[in-house]
A and B are shown apart, each in its own frame.
Chain A
Amino acid sequence: MIDIQLKDTPLITQECVDYVASASAGGSTVFIGTVRNQTKGKPVLRLEFESYAPMAISEMRKIAEQAQAKWNCEKISIHHRVGVLDIGEIAVIIAVATPHRKAAFEACEYCIDTLKETVPIWKKEFFEDGEVWVAAHP
């Protein structure tokens, strides 16, 4: 079972944890990505995430399906935030439940690593003296 959500309201960790809960899963892992207050020592004021929503959702679903096939995951929940986020707010939550713990860690790491490479979501960082689209340039 897979739960994918792209939301413009604050993400709620418990929703993802509850979604993956299963009597036959011996372990679940949760990754929570939050807005950091600096980049390379430069204070960040806030972030803005923009997405190509229909494709962002379908690409997140693909990642969850790949993880499910590779690690025998019972349930995966991926929630990603869009819009303006303040420091400390949650940008992404990934919860994975598997029969044994090792697979839960590996599948969760696979999901966040792949999400950062393929899902059409763009992060803009706002500094005191300007703004930058993250990772756009080499």
Chain B
Amino acid sequence: MKINILAFGIAKDIINSSTLGLEISDGTTVGQLKAQLTSQFPDFEKLRSLSIAVNQEYQEDDFLLSEKDEIVIIPPVSGG
């Protein structure tokens, strides 16, 4: 299935865009997506943390992704 991912902060610099279209297999988890992103863009490995938000909620590595999900790469936050 095809998913569209949004990127913010340093994640935007790493993928050199604010959006990324990816082809992933059905049943892909958040953890597998992180692994795929890190192998495609090794700079993600240098970050202090890497989280994925699905439909505006943080999700753990075992969460299953669906085609219509709003998927966002969340690099280390630094608000306040």
Contacts and interface: CB of A to CB of B under 8 A. Distances in A.
A92 B13 contact: no
Contacts, number: 79
B64 interface: no
Contact of A52 (B6, B46, B48): B6
B48 A92 contact: no
Contacts of B58: 118
Contact of A133 (B13, B56, B80): B13
Interface string A51-74: 110111010000000000000000
A48 B78 CA distance: 11
Interface of A: 33, 49-52, 54-56, 58, 80, 91-92, 112, 115-124, 133-138
21 contacts: A52-B6, A52-B56, A52-B74, A56-B79, A112-B80, A116-B78, A116-B79, A117-B77, A118-B77, A119-B79, A120-B8, A120-B72, A120-B79, A123-B78, A133-B10, A133-B13, A133-B78, A134-B78, A136-B10, A137-B47, A137-B48
